[in-house]
Amino acid sequence: MAKADRDERPAPENAGPATEEIEGASSERGVAAIRAALKTMPTTPGVYRMLSDKGEVLYVGKARNLKHRVTSYTQPGRLDPRLHRMVANTASMEVVTTGTEAEALLLEANLIKKLKPRYNVVLRDDKSFPYILLRLDHDWPQVVKHRGARRRKGEYFGPFASAGSVNQTVTALQRAFPLRSCTDHVFANRARPCLQHQIKRCVAPCVGLVEQQDYDRLVDETRAFLKGRTREVQNKLAGRMQEAAGALDFERAASFRDRIRALNHIQAHQGINVAAIDEADVVALHQAGGQACVQVFFVRQGRNYGNRAYYPTRTRDQSEDEVIAAFLGQFYEDKDVPRLILVSAMPDDVDLMTEALGSRAGRKIEISVPQRGDRRVLMRHALHNAKDALARRMAESATQRELLEGLAERLGLETPPQRIEVYDNSHIQGAQPVGGMIVAGPEGFMKNQYRKFSITGQAARQDAIGGDDYGMMREVLTRRFSRLLKEDPERDQGMWPDLVVVDGGQGQLTIALEVFEDLGVTDVGLCGVAKGPDRDAGRERFFLPGNKPFMLPERDPVLYFVQRIRDEAHRFAIGAHRTKRANQIGRSTLDDIAGVGPRRKKALLHHFGSAKAIADAPLTDLEKVEGIDRTVAQRVWDHFHPNA
C-alpha cells in the first residue's frame, strides 16, 4: 500500500543483489531517474513501480495524484534509511493510471502479491480455501468438499480454514443427513447398497431404497443446517424422534437420536460460536520482535469455520494500521469479501479500503474494530491466538537458528547455511527411477522449493539389477546445477544452496564432487550422510571432502536435525517414485507407437491376445487385423524390430 513506505529492511534470504549502498553518488543517480520519470508523470490516480538497473521491481505504490506522490522521493534527505536505499537503487519507473484511487489500491495489491517487491509488506499466501458444496446438478444431490473455481451447479458454504475442518464437517454431515457420497458413475452402476448404507450414512437412493420426496427433505434439512438454521433443524428432528418413540418404532427413533448427536458434534468442533454475527472475517494482528502474525477467523451463519495464521514479511517498521491495510488489500485480492470485516486496528485510509473491497465484492461492506460485546470477545480470542502463534514461530525460529549454527560448526562451514538442499533417489531394482530434492532453511522446510527429477539418462537404462545409484545422483545434480548456472549465474536470486547433503557415503560424495568440478561450482558446501551399521538411526556417518568419516553423539540435537531433513528427502523421493510407478500401471508397449490409439490397441490385443504375441507376429499377420492398414502395420512391426 502507499503507506507501506516504512517497510523493514528485507531479511537476507529474501534479498536480491547486494545493493545496499547509500552513497551520495548512488542516491543522486536514483533521484535523477525519478526526476526524469516526473517529466511525463500524470497527475491522475494510479500505481507506480520503482525498478532497479536489472529490471527488478523494488517497490509498488499507489497514489491519488501520481506526480505529487512520486515527487516526495526526490528529497532523499527527508527519507528514512530504508527509503534512502530504495531511491538509491532506483534506475527507472513504470506507471499505470487508473480511473479512481480505489482501482489503484486494488491494482497495487494485485501487483504486490504477484511481484513480491523487496520494499513492500508482502503476504505469502498461495493456498485457496476449501468449501462445502451442496451439488444440485443431479437428481440425487450430495454434499462434497470443493476447492477451486465455482463452476459446478450448487450451493457453496464456507470458506473453511483447512481441508481437515471440511473433512470433519462433511463426515459429521453424512451421519446427520445420510445423503449419497459416491460418484455419479458409481451411483449409476450400483446393483445393491454399499457399505455406507450398512453403517447408516446413506439412504441408498442408487437402488431405490428411499423415495424422492424423502430424499429431497434430507437435502432441505442439510441446506437449512448449513445456512445456520440449526435450532430449527434440531427441533424438527426431535419432534420426529418423539413421534417415532410414541409409535413404538424405537429403531427409527434411535436413528433420529443419532442424527441429533451428529449435529451437536459438528457444532462442538466449530469452536466459538457467535450467533449475532451472520457473516464476518475476524482479522487480528500481533507484532513482536520485528515480526508479525495475522490470525483470520472465518465466521459464517453464526459459526466459526476455523482460523488460519499468516506471517507478512518486511513489517518491522510498520504500524498496525499500515500492516492491516497491506494485509487486507492482498488477502482479498483473490478471495470472497464478507459483508463484515472485524479488525484489531483500523486500517490506514479505511474509507478507501472499504470502497475498494466493496467494488470488488459488488456490495456494501463494513470494516470495524469491535469495542464491546460478543464481537469484542471474539477479537480478544483471535488476538490471543495471534500472540501464541507468533511466540511459537519465534521460538521455533530461534531453535532452528541454533541448529543451523551447530550444523555449521560440525561441518566446518564459515556461516550457518540459509538454504540446505538434500538429495535422495528412489527406485525398485532400477525401475522407474526418481530423484528427489528437498529444501530447508531458517524457517524450516521450504516445501514450495521441493523438486523431483525423472531419471531419463544412462542411469535409467542400466541393465544391471539394482540400477545405477551413482549414475542417478550424477544426473540429478548435473541437471540441477546446470540449470542454476543458466538461470541464476549471478547467484543473487536466493536460488543457490549454501549446503548440499546427499544420502549416501563416500561414493555419493565423490560423484557430487565430480559434478561440481565439471561445472566449476566451488562455493557450495558438500556432505554425505550414510546410514549406520544395520541402518540404525543414531549411528549415521558423515562424509566431508578431504576429511575422514565421523559420527556425532547419539543425543546431539544436530544429529536429530540431520536425520529429520534426510528422512524428509527419503519420504519425498519415495512418494515421487510411487506416483511414477502408479502412473505406469496399465501402460503397454503399444502406447509408445505413434498412430496406435485406444481402438487400434484394442483390436491388436483382441486379435493376438498379448503384446508379446504382437511383437512376434510377422508383418503380413499384422495387416490382417481389422482397422490396421499397411502403414500402421509397418509402424508396429518397426517398433518391435528396430534393428531389422
Strand partners, 503: 529
Query: What is the spatial distance between Cα 434 and Cα 438, in angstroms, rounded to a whole number?
Result: 13
580: left (phi over 0), alpha (psi -120 to 50) or beta: alpha
CA distances from 15 to 10, 12, 223, 495 (A): 6, 5, 50, 11
Query: What is the spatial distance between Cα 468 and Cα 41, in angstroms, rounded to a whole number?
Result: 62
- How are beta strands 131-135 and 46-51 bridged, if at all? unpaired
> In 251-407, which ranges are E strands?
279-288, 291-300, 303-310, 340-343, 366-368
The helix (run of H) or strand (run of E) holding residue 640 is helix 630-640
Exposed, middle or buried, 305 (CB in 10 Å: 0-12/13-18/19+)?
A: buried
Exposed, middle or buried, 347 (CB in 10 Å: 0-12/13-18/19+)?
A: buried
Residue 273 confidence (pLDDT): 53
Q: Would you call 353 helix, strand, or coil by DSSP? A: helix
Please say whether the beta carbons of 146 and 169 come within 8 A. no
What secondary structure does DSSP assign to 74-132, as a single string? G-GGGS-HHHHHHHHH--EEEEEE-SSHHHHHHHHHHHHHHH--TTS-B-----PPPEE
Residue 463 confidence (pLDDT): 42
The CATH class given to the 279-391 domain equals alpha beta
Q: Does domain 589-640 correspond to CATH entry 3.60.15.10?
A: no
Residue 588 confidence (pLDDT): 63
Q: Does domain 420-584 correspond to CATH entry 3.30.565.10?
A: no
**The two domains 279-391 and 420-584 share their CATH topology (first three levels equal):** yes
Please say whether the beta carbons of 28 and 67 come within 8 A. no
Q: Buried b / exposed e across 366-388, counting CB within 10 Å, b at 16+? A: ebeebeeeebeebbebbbebbbe
Residue 581 confidence (pLDDT): 56
Low-confidence ranges of the chain (pLDDT < 70): 1-26, 125-127, 265-276, 427-432, 457-467, 532-538, 576-589, 591-592, 643-644
Q: Does domain 2-115 correspond to CATH entry 1.10.510.10?
A: no
CA distances from 198 to 41, 148, 604 (A): 72, 33, 43
What is the grid cell recorded at 568?
Answer: 524428509
Strand order in the sheet with 154-157: 143-146, 131-135, 154-157
Query: What is the spatial distance between Cα 88 and Cα 80, in angstroms, rounded to a whole number?
Result: 12
Residue type, 610: S
Query: What is the spatial distance between Cα 636 and Cα 436, in angstroms, rounded to a whole number?
Result: 36
Query: What is the spatial distance between Cα 93 and Cα 2, in angstroms, rounded to a whole number?
Result: 15
Question: Any alpha helices (H) in 311-372, and if so which ranges?
Answer: 320-331, 350-361
Taken in order 140, 141, 147, 151, the sign of the CA dihedral is: positive
Residue type, 37: A
Please say whether the beta carbons of 614 and 590 come within 8 A. yes
Residue 527 confidence (pLDDT): 95
Query: What is the spatial distance between Cα 402 and Cα 417, in angstroms, rounded to a whole number?
Result: 11
Residue 11 confidence (pLDDT): 38
**Contacts with 252 (C-beta within 8 Å, 6 or more apart), sequence order:** 244
Q: What's the residue count for the chain?
A: 644
Query: What is the spatial distance between Cα 322 and Cα 3, in angstroms, rounded to a whole number?
Result: 6
What secondary structure does DSSP assign to 196-221, as a single string? HHHTTS---GGGT-S-HHHHHHHHHH
**Contacts with 402 (C-beta within 8 Å, 6 or more apart), sequence order:** 557
Query: What is the spatial distance between Cα 302 and Cα 275, in angstroms, rounded to a whole number?
Result: 4
CA distances from 356 to 284, 297, 494, 534 (A): 21, 22, 34, 63
Residue 90 confidence (pLDDT): 92
Query: What is the spatial distance between Cα 436 and Cα 576, in angstroms, rounded to a whole number?
Result: 7
**For the chain, what are the domain ranges?**
2-115, 131-268, 279-391, 420-584, 589-640
